[in-house]
Amino acid sequence: MSDFQIVVCGSLVPDPLQTLEPLSGATAPSLKNEMMLPTILDPWAAHALYEAANLAKKNQGSKIYLVSLGPKGKLQQLMMSVAQKVGFELIAIDGSASGFTEPYEVSEVLASAIKSIPNLDMSKLLLFGGCSSASRDAGVTMQLVAERLGISDFFLGVDELIIEQDGKLTFKERVEAGQYLVSTCSAPPVAVGWSTGTLPVPPNNPQLGMMNMRGVLPALQKAKSVKVSAEGVAYSKVEQPSQRRDTRIVKDTPVETIVQELVEWLRS
């Protein structure tokens, strides 16, 4: 076993229990009352953070960095809950966390922040993030960050990472039909886009939260302001998906008839 430097990329997203109403702005789309919406840590990034904590616990000397891009005030609110789950050092970036941003620009900002981490050792680097995002779901952000850092070994849709006795890393990646692709990498650096992982949500630990906040607050105060948008991208319109519900109550209908009607409805 050896120690690792685990960098987790994860930011805030609107709480999925809220009603999200998109609006067409003057320069780019946005969400109605976006700054007032309650937020959570992106679910896939949260899994990446929990897996990082489990890995660091098993490999003494490992350190976790959480790199978050979002409005500084909203990040502070988010960190008050996230800090109670896992021990980490926050690298905060003050900028837009909107879903209407270009992954190319986001990846540039994240990679620059990672490069600025003092004493970053690429031979020990594990770059973690979500395989998707509840807001910026382009599916390419983590890979773009990895390429900017010169990391060529990238694993997507990972549910499990095993550190072998000889130091090799074994990954289980999701593929079609509920199966896994098992791959082995000889050594870091590697980039991992986590799926749901295998771990439950850690319980709240107020003492851990207080320890983390001692570093979180100074990190937020010195957070660099950046501008990320979607330069060159034009939106024709933004709208909520339309809902359709056709209900008909019938009795004593043969199964074959019901199936046939469902097939015809789907085809229409």
The 10 Å CB-count burial string (b at 16+, else e) for 22-55 is beeeeebbbbeebeebebbbbbbbbbbbbbbbbb
The confidence score (pLDDT) of residue 18 equals: 75
166-174 average pLDDT score: 90
pTM: 0.82
Q: What is the DSSP string of 81-146?
A: HHTTT---EEEEEES---SSS-HHHHHHHHHHHHHTSTT--GGGEEEEEESS-SS-TTS-HHHHHH
The confidence score (pLDDT) of residue 1 equals: 53
Residue 161: strand, helix, or coil: strand
Domain 5-225: which CATH class?
Answer: alpha beta
Q: Which of 30-34, 64-68, 153-157, 188-192 has the lowest average pLDDT?
A: 30-34
pLDDT band (50, 70, 90) for residue 230: low
Which of residues 170 and 231 earns the better pLDDT score?
Answer: 170
Amino acid at 47: H
User: In sequence order, which residues have a C-beta less than 8 Å from that of residue 244 and are 6 or more positions away?
Assistant: none
Of 133, 124, 23, 6, which Cα lies nearest the Cα of 69? 133
**C-alpha span between 233 and 33 (Å, rounded):** 23
Report the percentage of the chain scoring pLDDT > 90. 38
Task: Name the residue ranges covered by the structural domains of the chain.
Answer: 5-225
The confidence score (pLDDT) of residue 111 equals: 94
